[in-house]
Amino acid sequence: MGTLERVFHSVLFEVLAVTLSIAGLAIFTDHDVASLSGTMIVIASIAMVWNYAFNWVFDLYVKGDKTKRTFSMRIFHVSLFEAGLLVLTIPVMAYFLSVSLWNAFLMDLGVTIFITIYAFLFNLSYDHIRSAVMQRRANNVVVNSAM
């Protein structure tokens, strides 16, 4: 995966994640959507940089066809990613929403549980959709060169 695709992957992931997280936090907390939106945009920006860096390093160590990754490898991947992100975002959430670190931890943990499931499903889907697109492109090249 090249740099442009990594950026696309991160942005697509975060746009969907932010939208869904704001909706969830608005339902389960007494914070207004405007303050949640600002907070989640800052957190998403941190997450995008973390996503790019983490996945780049992860891919250096875990080689091979991504569609062949085992269930346990995907669990390990998403767990490690989310643990690192929690460390980065709890203080940010506490500051922007004017809550204690404990309350920020609880809110961020709720978001993290949701995002962990979302990340697993998003990356699984992305890898398989990407594989299908790449296969279709390869088939089109073969068909077009045969003509």
Query: 40-84 pLDDT, tens per residue?
Result: 889 888 988 898 899 889 988 888 787 788 889 888 988 898 889
Extract long-range pairs of 45-49: CB within 8 Å, 24+ residues apart: 46/85, 46/88, 46/89, 46/92, 47/14, 47/17, 47/85, 47/89, 48/10, 48/11, 48/14
Report the pLDDT value the prediction gives residue 105, as an integer from 0 to 100: 93
Each residue of 76-130: pLDDT tens digit?
Answer: 988 898 889 999 999 999 999 999 999 999 988 888 888 888 988 999 999 999 9
Confidence of residue 147 (pLDDT cuts 50, 70, 90): low
Indicate yes or no: pTM above 0.85: no
